[in-house]
C-alpha cells in the first residue's frame, strides 16, 4: 500500500471541512434562527411540558447579524433578509400597513395585526375598537417610560414615538429584542431602534410552565427591552455584556415583585471563578451578572449606573479603548465614573461585590436575598497543614474580574489557624469566619499577606467555617495566588499585561480573516488562547507580542477580500489542531514515521550504492 497516498487522503479529509469553513459564519446565523426552537418544541411535545425557557433577549444576535451582513453569502442573505428589516406582520403588505395604537402617554406606537399567526388576543371588552391586550401593552410601556426616564433620569430614545411590534415569537423561542435601524453616520453616536415582543406571552416557554403570568412576562420584557432602546440612544457602540447586565437589573427596578431575573443567577454566581464580569456572552451568564449592578448601587447610589451610560454617550470609538468588534470597552468607563463621582475604583467595587456574595449583607431588596445563590467553594481543606502538596492544590490562576472561595474546616487539633497568601499585583484577598451563624471578616496581619483566626479549634466542624476569598480585580487575565497554613507559599509572577480587550476580544487577525468575532473558528482559536497560551509564561509572551503587532495587520486584511482567503489558508494548521487534536497528533506521528522510514531507506540505499 502506498503510505504517501494514504497520508494525503487523511490530510485531505481533514482539510476539506476547514476549507469550507469560510461559510461557517453563514451556518452560525442560519442555525441561530428557528433551528433550536424547533428542537425545543419537539422535546416539549415528547415530554409534555416546556423543557426549555425562552431566550431572554436576542438583541445582541440581531445587531451582530446586521454588522456581519456584507460577509454572508447571497443565498444566506435571502433567507435571513426578514431579520434585518422592520417586521411585516402576518396579513400585511409592509411594515407600515398594520393597525397601530398610540399609547396614552404619547411615547409609543403599538403595531399589531388581526391576522394569525401574529394576531394577539383580539378581545375588546370596552368596545373601543382596540384589542384590550394591545391597550395593556401600551400601558405597560408607558409605565416603564415613567420609571426609567421620568423617575430614574435616563435619556429617552431619539424619537418622538417609539415603535413596538407584536408578533408570534414562539418559533424564535424569544421574549423579545431591540433592533437598531443601522449604524450611525459621521460623528453621530445615537441611533433609532425598535422593539419586537411576543404577541401574548402565553406559551409555557414564556411563563416557565405557569410559574409566571403572561402579564408579568410582558412587564419585565418591556422593562428589559426599553432599556436597550435607551442604550442605543446613548451610544451605538456599547459592549453587550454591560447592556444585558443593565437591562436585566432594570427588570427588578421597574417591577420588583416579578423576580424572574433571579433564575439567571445560578448561571453566574456559582461559577464566578471562571466567568469574567466583562466576559463574552454565553450560557445566560450575562443575565446573571446583573447582580453586580445591585452591588454597585448599594455601594454608591442609584445614579451610578445611569452615570456610566451618560459617560458612554460622550465617547467615540476613535478616542476610547475598544473591543475587537469596535465597541467601546465598558470597564474603563465604569472605572472613570466611579473614581470621579464616588472616589472609589472599579477594582475596589468588584472586590466589595465578591465580599458581599459571601457575607450576603445586601441592604436593598432584603426580602429577596434568599433567592440569591450562596457562594460555591472551589476547594475545601480539613487536613492540616495546607501546603503545596495538599489537594486540591492551594493555588489559583484567575481570569480578569473573577473570584473564588476556599473553605477551611475547623478541627480541634488546630487551635489557631494562620493563613499566608502570596499573590500577584492584581489579586486581592479576604478571610471570613462563620461561627454560630454569624459572619465576620478577619483583619489581615501587618503587611497584608497573612491572617490569624483565633478560636479555630473551638469552632464546629459541621456548621462553622473559615473561608478565604481570592479575587482578580483587574482587566488582565491570569493573575496568580498561592496560599498555605504554614507559611510555605510558592512563587508567583505577574502575567503579561496585555489588555484583555473586554468581552473576550483580542483575536484580531482571525476575526479579520473569518469576517466576524462570532465566527465559530474564531471562537475556537480564542478558546485555545485562553486555555493553552494564557496559562503559561511562553504562551503569555507570544500573546503579548501578537497583541502588539496584529491590529494594523488585521486592518489591512479586513479591507481586502483576497487576503482573507489566504490568511484562512495560513491558519488551517492551527485550526485543524484545535478542532481535531487527536487526529492532528496522529497525523504528526504518521508523518514522523514516514519521514523516518524514508530517511532509513535513503541511508540504506546510499550504503548499498557504496558497496
Mean pLDDT check: name the lowest of 115-119, 539-543, 561-565: 539-543
Q: Identify the pLDDT of residue 1.
A: 47
Higher pLDDT, 64 or 11: 64
In this prediction, residues 3-23 reach a mean pLDDT of 48
pLDDT band, very low/low/confident/very high, at 23 (cuts 50, 70, 90): low
Beta-bridged to residue 422, according to DSSP, are 482
Q: Identify the pLDDT of residue 271.
A: 94
Say if CB 111 and CB 163 are below 8 A apart: yes
Say if CB 30 and CB 81 are below 8 A apart: no
In this prediction, residues 119-143 reach a mean pLDDT of 98
d(CA 604, CA 593): 16
Q: Identify the pLDDT of residue 10.
A: 47
User: Could you tell me the maximum CA-CA distance found in the chain, to the nearest angstrom?
Assistant: 110
The C-alpha cell at 296 is: 454597585
Q: Identify the pLDDT of residue 602.
A: 67
E strand or H helix at 336, and its extent?
A: helix 330-342
HEC per residue, 339-399: HHHHCCCHHHHHHHHHHHHHHCCCCCCHHHHHHCCCCCEEEEECCCCCCCCCCCCCEEEEC
pLDDT band, very low/low/confident/very high, at 585 (cuts 50, 70, 90): low
User: Look-up: residue for cell 453569502?
Assistant: 73
Mean pLDDT check: name the lowest of 73-77, 268-272, 536-540: 536-540
In this prediction, residues 156-169 reach a mean pLDDT of 97
Say if CB 250 and CB 148 are below 8 A apart: yes
d(CA 101, CA 136): 11
| Entry pTM | 0.82
- Would you tell me how many other CB atoms lie within 10 Å of the CB of residue 610? 6
CA-CA-CA-CA torsion sign (235, 236, 239, 244): positive
**∠ Cα 220 315 472 (to 5°):** 70
Q: Identify the pLDDT of residue 227.
A: 98
Does the pLDDT of residue 502 top 60, yes or no?
Answer: no
Say whether the peptide bond before residue 417 is cis (omega within 30 degrees of 0).
Answer: no
Beta-bridged to residue 244, according to DSSP, are none
Say if CB 238 and CB 223 are below 8 A apart: no
The full DSSP string for 585-607 is HHHHHHHHHHHHHHHHHHHHHHH
Does the pLDDT of residue 26 top 60, yes or no?
Answer: yes
Phi, psi of 11, rounded to the nearest 5 degrees: -60, -45
SS3 (DSSP) at 59: helix
Q: Identify the pLDDT of residue 463.
A: 96
The long-range contacts involving 48-55, CB below 8 angstroms and separated by at least 24 positions, are 49/204, 49/209, 50/203, 50/204, 50/205, 50/208, 50/209, 52/173, 52/205, 53/205, 53/208, 53/263, 54/169, 54/173, 54/174, 54/175, 54/198, 54/203, 54/205, 54/206, 55/172, 55/173, 55/174, 55/175
* End-to-end CA gap in the chain: 29
The C-alpha cell at 477 is: 487575565
Q: Identify the pLDDT of residue 535.
A: 59
Say if CB 296 and CB 281 are below 8 A apart: no
Domain boundaries along the sequence of the chain:
1-32+506-611, 40-234, 237-375, 377-484
**pLDDT one-digit tens code per residue, 281-314:** 888 999 999 999 999 999 999 899 999 999 999 9
Beta-bridged to residue 195, according to DSSP, are 164, 178
d(CA 334, CA 342): 11
SS3 (DSSP) at 159: coil
Order of strands across the sheet with 193-198? Answer: 100-102, 108-111, 162-167, 193-198, 176-180
Q: Considering the domain 377-484, what is its CATH architecture?
A: Sandwich (2.60)
Residues contacting 21, CB < 8 A, separation 6+: 514, 520, 521, 568, 575
The C-alpha cell at 469 is: 476569598
Q: Identify the pLDDT of residue 520.
A: 66
**∠ Cα 270 276 282 (to 5°):** 80
d(CA 273, CA 250): 25
Sequence length of the chain is 611
d(CA 520, CA 566): 18
The C-alpha cell at 206 is: 414564556
Residues contacting 13, CB < 8 A, separation 6+: none
Of 378, 379, 393, nearest to 488 by C-alpha is: 393
Q: Is 112 exposed, middle or buried (0-12, 13-18, 19+ CB in 10 A)?
A: buried
The DSSP letter of residue 504 is: T
**pLDDT one-digit tens code per residue, 478-492:** 899 999 999 997 889
Amino acid at each position: 500500500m502506498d503510505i504517501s497516498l494514504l497520508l494525503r487522503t487523511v490530510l485531505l479529509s481533514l482539510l476539506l471541512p476547514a476549507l469550507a469553513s469560510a461559510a461557517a459564519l453563514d451556518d452560525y446565523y442560519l442555525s441561530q434562527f428557528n433551528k433550536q426552537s424547533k428542537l425545543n418544541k419537539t422535546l416539549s411535545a415528547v415530554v409534555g411540558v416546556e423543557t426549555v425557557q425562552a431566550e431572554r433577549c436576542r438583541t445582541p444576535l440581531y445587531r451582530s447579524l446586521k454588522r456581519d451582513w456584507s460577509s454572508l453569502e447571497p443565498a444566506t442573505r435571502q433567507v435571513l433578509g426578514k431579520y434585518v428589516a422592520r417586521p411585516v406582520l402576518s396579513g400585511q403588505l409592509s411594515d407600515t400597513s398594520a393597525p397601530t395604537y398610540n399609547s396614552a402617554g404619547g411615547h409609543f406606537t403599538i403595531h399589531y395585526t388581526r391576522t394569525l399567526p401574529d394576531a394577539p388576543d383580539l378581545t375588546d371588552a370596552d368596545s373601543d375598537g382596540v384589542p384590550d391586550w394591545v391597550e395593556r401593552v401600551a400601558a405597560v410601556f408607558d409605565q416603564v417610560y415613567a420609571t426609567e426616564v421620568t423617575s430614574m433620569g435616563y435619556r429617552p430614545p431619539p424619537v418622538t414615538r417609539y415603535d413596538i411590534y407584536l408578533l408570534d415569537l414562539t418559533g424564535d423561542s424569544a421574549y423579545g429584542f431591540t433592533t437598531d435601524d443601522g449604524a450611525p453616520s459621521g460623528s453621530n453616536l445615537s441611533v433609532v431602534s425598535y422593539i419586537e415582543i411576543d404577541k401574548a406571552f402565553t406559551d409555557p416557554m414564556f411563563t416557565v410552565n405557569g410559574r409566571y403570568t403572561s402579564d408579568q412576562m410582558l412587564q419585565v420584557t418591556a422593562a428589559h427591552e426599553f432599556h436597550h432602546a435607551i442604550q442605543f440612544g446613548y451610544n451605538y457602540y456599547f459592549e453587550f455584556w454591560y447592556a444585558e447586565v443593565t437591562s436585566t437589573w432594570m427588570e427588578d427596578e421597574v417591577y420588583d415583585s416579578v423576580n424572574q431575573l433571579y433564575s439567571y443567577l445560578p448561571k453566574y454566581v456559582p461559577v464566578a471563578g471562571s466567568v469574567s464580569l466583562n466576559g463574552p456572552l454565553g450560557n445566560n451568564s450575562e443575565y446573571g451578572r446583573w447582580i453586580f449592578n445591585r452591588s454597585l448601587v448599594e455601594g454608591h447610589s442609584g445614579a451610578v449606573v445611569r452615570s456610566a451610560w451618560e459617560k458612554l454617550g460622550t465617547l467615540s470609538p476613535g478616542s476610547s479603548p475598544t473591543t475587537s468588534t469596535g465597541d467601546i470597552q465598558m470597564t474603563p468607563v465604569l472605572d472613570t465614573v466611579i473614581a470621579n463621582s464616588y472616589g472609589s475604583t472599579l477594582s475596589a467595587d468588584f472586590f466589595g461585590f465578591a465580599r458581599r456574595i459571601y457575607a450576603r449583607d445586601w441592604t436593598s431588596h432584603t426580602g429577596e436575598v434568599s433567592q440569591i445563590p450562596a457562594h460555591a467553594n472551589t476547594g475545601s481543606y480539613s487536613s492540616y497543614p495546607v501546603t503545596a502538596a495538599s489537594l486540591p492544590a492551594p493555588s489559583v490562576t484567575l481570569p480578569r474580574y473573577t473570584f473564588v472561595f476556599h473553605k477551611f474546616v475547623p478541627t480541634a487539633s488546630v487551635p489557631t489557624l494562620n493563613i499566608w497568601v502570596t499573590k500577584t499585583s492584581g489579586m486581592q484577598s479576604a478571610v471570613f469566619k462563620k461561627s454560630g451563624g454569624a459572619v465576620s471578616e478577619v483583619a489581615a496581619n501587618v503587611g497584608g499577606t497573612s491572617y490569624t483566626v483565633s478560636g479555630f479549634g473551638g469552632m464546629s466542624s459541621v456548621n462553622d467555617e473559615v473561608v478565604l476569598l481570592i479575587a482578580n480585580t483587574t482587566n488582565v487575565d491570569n493573575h496568580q495566588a498561592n496560599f498555605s497554613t504554614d507559611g510555605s507559599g510558592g512563587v508567583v509572577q505577574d502575567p503579561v499585561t496585555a489588555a484583555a480587550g473586554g468581552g473576550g476580544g483580542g483575536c484580531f487577525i482571525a476575526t479579520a480573516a473569518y469576517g466576524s468575532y462570532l465566527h465559530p473558528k474564531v471562537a475556537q482559536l480564542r478558546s485555545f488562547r485562553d486555555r493553552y497560551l494564557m496559562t503559561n509564561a511562553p504562551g503569555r509572551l507570544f500573546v503579548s507580542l501578537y497583541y502588539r503587532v496584529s491590529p494594523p495587520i488585521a486592518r489591512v486584511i479586513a479591507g481586502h477580500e483576497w487576503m482573507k482567503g489566504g490568511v484562512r489558508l495560513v491558519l488551517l494548521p492551527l485550526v485543524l489542531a484545535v478542532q481535531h487534536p487527536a487526529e492532528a497528533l496522529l497525523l504528526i506521528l504518521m508523518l514522523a514515521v514516514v519521514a523516518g522510514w524514508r530517511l532509513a531507506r535513503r541511508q540504506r540505499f546510499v550504503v548499498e550504492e557504496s558497496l
